[in-house]
Structure 1
Amino acid sequence: MSTRASIRPRRIAASLALTFLACSSAFAGNAHTFATPEAEKFVRNMLAEADAGKTIRLNGQTLMQAYKSSETAADKKYKSKTLLVETAVDLVSRDMFGALVVYLKSGSFMPIAARFDKKVTLVEGMESDNGLVKIRQLPAEEAAALLKRGQTIHLVCKGDGYNLGSPGLELCNMVSL
């Protein structure tokens, strides 16, 4: 086995570990206070589901790379699964049918297209170091109106496969600002 071949898996493992730590630190809850017991319960349940493997944590670049490497393997791993995706907002727009779409940075030319569910749980304060964490339910239109280009967010969505050169997310029902 060549040196190059043995270094590559270590780099991939290190990259995945950094991604996991980045997602974990944003949602650790240690430096946060919660506005209500319901907010704390919601965040802790979300983390417990991710820790139990019911929700897959990843970032936009990891999702895009998986689909670029093998659409079939990525579909098996992510399609129709619940995903907790960390990425930055690229654009909030409408598709050609008038449906609301949040385009997310993917580390590639093509963004990830995310479609919100009718109601979205908005988690505010998790993305700051010492925020007061509040949750509230909003219609998708109102939640999307709060997003800004370049803003780092976390979304909980179902994987929707790969269409037109881009991974898709559907039924996004939680967004953290």
Structure 2
Amino acid sequence: MLPVETIQDKILLLRGQKVMLDEDLAELYGVETKVLNQAVKRHSKRFPPDFMFQLSEEEYTESTALRSQFVTLKKGRGSHRKYLPYAFTEQGIAMLSGVLNSDRAIEVNILIMRAFVKLREMIASHKDLAKKLDELEMKYDAQFAIVFDAMRQIMTPPEPKRKKIGFVKEEKNKAD
């Protein structure tokens, strides 16, 4: 149905938790964001603060900027929202399938849970690799320090390059 990578791209880190926004979940479930949020409000007892929370203005701005680095936002997406979006933790997303109660919701929920598991496995394997590298570094002397430093640089994800806004004044070559 949907590739796990598509779902993983919609998982954000907010308030130290991996979450998905209501508009992304609504898109995956094939319902309007308003319909999803109404269903959640009707069953509010099922969604305590550790399952779902509303974003602050700052968090929403940051999450929109983060998502726009990966994909171009749909025209008008997020620009005409009356309320700030809700973020659902893994437990909140699991609760959604029961609230929405459709075959598609169940199928999408299974895919989302698999995406969260895959993400945890990737993080765990990265930690295991870093631990093994530390052990090797302690075992061998300083002559391999350059190799270990190079390996750590390879393991560290690159900082996203930001394009400068505006005009850049070109310098003329002094030899001309």
Same fold, judged at TM 0.5 (above):
no
Between Structure 1 and Structure 2, whose CA radius of gyration is higher? Answer: 2
Higher helix share goes to which structure?
A: 2
TM-score when normalising by structure 2: 0.25
Q: TM-score, normalised by structure 1?
A: 0.25
Larger fraction in strand: 1
